[in-house]
Amino acid sequence: MIKNITLNDKQAIEELAQLRYLMQFDEKAAGVNMAKLVKDKEPIIQNTIDYIKDNLNQTLFIFVYLIDNTIVATASLIMTPMFPSWHILNGKKGIVSNVYTKPPYRQHGYQSALIKQIIAKAEQLNISTLTVNTYNEVALRLYHKFGFQKYENTYRLNL
C-alpha cells in the first residue's frame, strides 16, 4: 500500500529519519562508504526530523510503501523554485530524493509504484522538470524506464 506522509504521522517521520540515516550507509545506494565520514548519527537524524516537519506537504512530499504497516520503501519529491528558463518555463523544478528500499524488499516493483506517485504529484503541482542524482546502476535503469535522461553535469562546493 502506498501512503503520502503527513505531519500527523509522527512515528513514520521518526522512522523515515532513521531510514535516511541508514540509506547513507548502504554503499550500493550511496556510491560511497559514509561510515568513514560520519561519526555521530544523532545530529543527522534530528536535522532530518526538523527538515521534514518544516517542509512536509509544502515543498517536500514523501511517499512510502507499506507492508503490514511497516515502511519498506520510500521516495520523496522536493519542489524548488528557480528562475524560469527554456526547460523550466514556470520556474518549478522537482527533485526526486530519499529513494530507498530496505534490502529484503528490493526488486519487487515498490520503487516503480512510488516513482509513479511522484510523477503524478509533480504533474498536479505543475512542476516543469524532475531531476534525480544517483550512481546506483539499478536505480538508473528504473529512472530510464520512466523517461529520465542524463542532462547536464552538476558540480558541488561543500561549505
Reported as a single tens digit per residue, the pLDDT across 39-63 is 677 888 899 999 999 999 999 999 9
The predicted pLDDT at position 137 comes to 84
d(CA 94, CA 43): 26
Does residue 27 register a pLDDT over 70? no
pTM, to two decimals: 0.86
User: In the chain, where does DSSP find H-type helix?
Assistant: 10-23, 27-30, 41-55, 110-124, 137-145
Reported as a single tens digit per residue, the pLDDT across 120-153 is 999 999 998 899 988 788 888 999 999 998 876 6
Strand duo 2-4 + 60-67: pairing: antiparallel
The predicted pLDDT at position 18 comes to 87
Does residue 65 register a pLDDT over 80? yes
C-alpha cell at 83: 528562475
Sign of the Cα pseudo-torsion (68, 70, 72, 77, in order): positive
Does residue 71 register a pLDDT over 70? yes
The predicted pLDDT at position 80 comes to 94
Domain boundaries, the chain: 2-145
Mean pLDDT of 87-112: 92
Which CATH architecture group holds 2-145?
3-Layer(aba) Sandwich (3.40)
